Structure 1
């Protein structure tokens, strides 16, 4: 009864498996963090570009990564997710590009 089972994964293996499983969503969140930093520095247009870019990145990742590995980016069916991400990301990037900055980035 003093033996521990050999099948228990180590903590670092569990963390590594978590990041491999959720790598697509982690990349999108990393780009969103960059966007938040820009917005916090009053660079709202650049922040908006990065938000739109993060959503477009989600569309590309949803297109390229198999459904079993896409993690939290899978909301509905693959075509719906790709279309929704592409339209939303494109709209945000277009909006950020067309609004006058009024001397502010």
Structure 2
């Protein structure tokens, strides 16, 4: 859980410094990292990442993380960096 939170903090720093696309990619990556941790680690070790059953958690986190990364990678910047 701590590793995922640290990646989210990095994402927030990027967004706060007006690098929203990079921040969104990091946030999506943190979500995919959480899905990988939930899949590979036992329930006692994942802490708050265990919300429901393992298949539901992995599926929901994977879908959400993939959608965030896809949207961040494909959205038009509208002329801003």
The two structures share one fold, judged by TM-score above 0.5:
yes
Gaps of 5+ in 2: none
RMSD over aligned Cα atoms: 0.8
Superposition TM-score, scaled by structure 1 size: 0.75
Once the two structures are TM-superposed, the CA of residue 104 in structure 1 deviates from its matched residue by 2.8
**CA-CA distance at 1:28 after TM superposition:** 0.5
Structure 2 distance, partners of 1:91, 1:73, is: 19
* RCO comparison, higher one (Cα < 8 Å, 6+): 2
- Scaled by the length of structure 2, what TM-score is found? 0.96
Tell me the alpha carbon deviations over residues 45-80 of structure 1, each in whole angstroms, 9 at most, x when there is no partner. Answer: 000000100000000000010111111100000000
2:43 aligns to what?
A: 67
2:28 corresponds to 1:52: yes
Give 5+ residue unaligned stretches, structure 1: 1-24
Matches within 5 A, 1:28-43: 28-43=4-19
